[in-house]
Amino acid sequence: MAIKYDTTTRNAMLDALNTRIGTSAKVRIYNGTRPANVGTAITSQTMLVELTGNATAFAAAASGGVLTANAISNGTAAATGTASWCRVFQSNGTTAIADADVATSGSDLNLNNTSIATGQTVSVTSFTITDGNG
């Protein structure tokens, strides 16, 4: 992308995203290949676990082009697989807002373990959304 934004604009865009996500966001973690975009239907990927964000899912304001999630409740895995990406939904669970990569470190959403087994407790260690167009 050739367009670059100043930090104030990047923060404003992330704050607008935060407003759209709203309270108690649902984060569904999947295996398989991440779809081309958030509007693409999930087909062969399996939802491994659904997690619920805090009543205020993300910090009140982005800083430095980064929006940081508040606490996300642990979840119990519904299926077995290797977590590779997630989809963030509004609290209604039907309005998809964003897709993100998943790993144990250095990713958008970091878990305690990406090898997930049915019945396992899944914990988020960090989740940030970064606008890299600075």
Q: Taking a C-beta distance cutoff of 8 angstroms, is the pair 124, 72 a contact?
A: yes
State what percent of residues in the chain have pLDDT above 90: 85
Report the mean per-residue pLDDT for the chain: 94
Q: What confidence score (pLDDT) does residue 1 get?
A: 55
The identity of residue 31, as a single letter, is: N
Q: What confidence score (pLDDT) does residue 23 get?
A: 87
Range 91-96 contact pairs with CB under 8 angstroms and sequence separation of 24 or more: 91/22, 91/23, 91/24, 91/25, 91/26, 93/26, 96/38, 96/39
Write the burial class of residue 86 (CB in 10 Å: 0-12 exposed, 13-18 middle, 19+ buried): buried
Per-residue model confidence as pLDDT tens digits over 19-39? 999 889 999 999 999 999 999
Per-residue model confidence as pLDDT tens digits over 46-100? 999 999 998 888 998 999 999 999 989 999 999 999 999 999 999 999 999 999 9
Give the Cα separation of 86 and 102 in Å (integer).
7
